[in-house]
Structure 1
Amino acid sequence: MDKNVQAEWAEVHELEESISFARTKNWLKLQFESNCVNLVNRLNRTKADFSTMGY
């Protein structure tokens, strides 16, 4: 697995952990920050993504 893919999976994992932590604290409003443009674009996308990499 190349380094970019590993970094993106690490970002996804950290986001998942952050959401789980927020749920344990019963926080209703959250703001996340990331420099992983693929993750940010995927979360902000409202339409279905049919590309192979999601760009």
Structure 2
Amino acid sequence: MMSADWAEMEAFDESLKMASILNISNVIFESDCANLVNKVNKREQDITIIGCCVKNACKAFNNFDSVKINWANRSNNQVANV
């Protein structure tokens, strides 16, 4: 069984991989998981296990010209609300 935070982490990691494969240079990632967005934006200060995974995943940021991650209100996430 996987917690919601870990599921969001997996989805974020897969999104990074897909954006790299598609050779997208400027990306904006959005998530309704405030915990994940905060961990990405404060990855240098987070010493938790998931924080370590976030830090490793964010090494892929070097593949892009610009990267931004935003929190999106859950009501804006049509897929999650189905």
Tell me, yes or no, if structure 1 residue 33 matches structure 2 residue 45.
Answer: no
Identical columns (%): 41
Superposed, 1:1-55 pairs within 5 Å as: 6-45=3-42, 47-49=44-46
Q: Which amino acid aligns with 1:22?
A: A
Q: In angstroms, what is the RMSD of aligned CA positions?
A: 2.4
The runs of 4+ residues in structure 1 deviating greater than 2 Å are none
CA distance in 2, matches of 1:50, 1:16: 18
Normalising by structure 2, we get a TM-score of: 0.50
CA shift for structure 1 position 46? 6.1
Q: Secondary structure at the match of 2:17?
A: helix
Unaligned runs of 5+ in 2: 52-82
CA distance in 2, matches of 1:45, 1:10: 19
Q: Secondary structure at the match of 1:32?
A: strand
Unaligned runs of 5+ in 1: none
CA distance in 1, matches of 2:22, 2:40: 22
How many residue pairs match? The answer is 50
Normalising by structure 1, we get a TM-score of: 0.71
